Amino acid sequence: MYVISDSCISCGACADTCPMGAIAMDDSLGRYAIDGNTCIDCGSCADGCPMGAIAPGE
Ligand code: SF4
Ligand code: SF4
């Protein structure tokens, strides 16, 4: 799965690019987060993040 770091500024761009709808605002974290059970590792979200906050994770 891909993961979002604390560099996220909650612009929301990544959520629109995800074909699985796996990205959403996480109010408890104060930033966007990826649902690892839904992510298919396509990488689309990482390419569009202005902060480079998205990368392949565990
Ligand atoms: Fe956060 Fe990047 Fe997604 Fe914007 S595109 S919400 S900065 S992870
Ligand atoms: Fe969605 Fe693809 Fe990013 Fe996973 S890697 S969160 S499926 S856009």
Mean pLDDT of all residues in the chain? 97
Residues 6+ apart with CB under 8 A from 4: 14, 23, 31, 32, 33, 34, 53, 54
The answer on pLDDT for 19 being more than 90 is: yes
pLDDT-wise least confident of 14-18, 31-35, 48-52, 54-58: 54-58
**Distance (Å, rounded) from C-alpha 39 to C-alpha 9?**
21
Ligand 2 pocket by C-beta < 6 Å: which residues? 2, 17-18, 20, 22-23, 34, 39-45
Q: Which domains does the chain show, CATH number per domain?
A: 2-56 (3.30.70.20)
The answer on pLDDT for 44 being more than 80 is: yes
| Ligand at shortest distance from the CA of 1 | 2
**Distance (Å, rounded) from C-alpha 9 to C-alpha 32?**
8
The answer on pLDDT for 58 being more than 80 is: no
Q: How many whole angstroms from 30 Cα to the centroid of ligand 1?
A: 12
Q: Which atom of ligand 2 is nearest to the CA of 40?
A: 7
Whose C-alpha lies nearest to ligand 1, atom 7?
8
Phi, psi of 44 (to 5 degrees): -60, -40
The answer on pLDDT for 6 being more than 80 is: yes
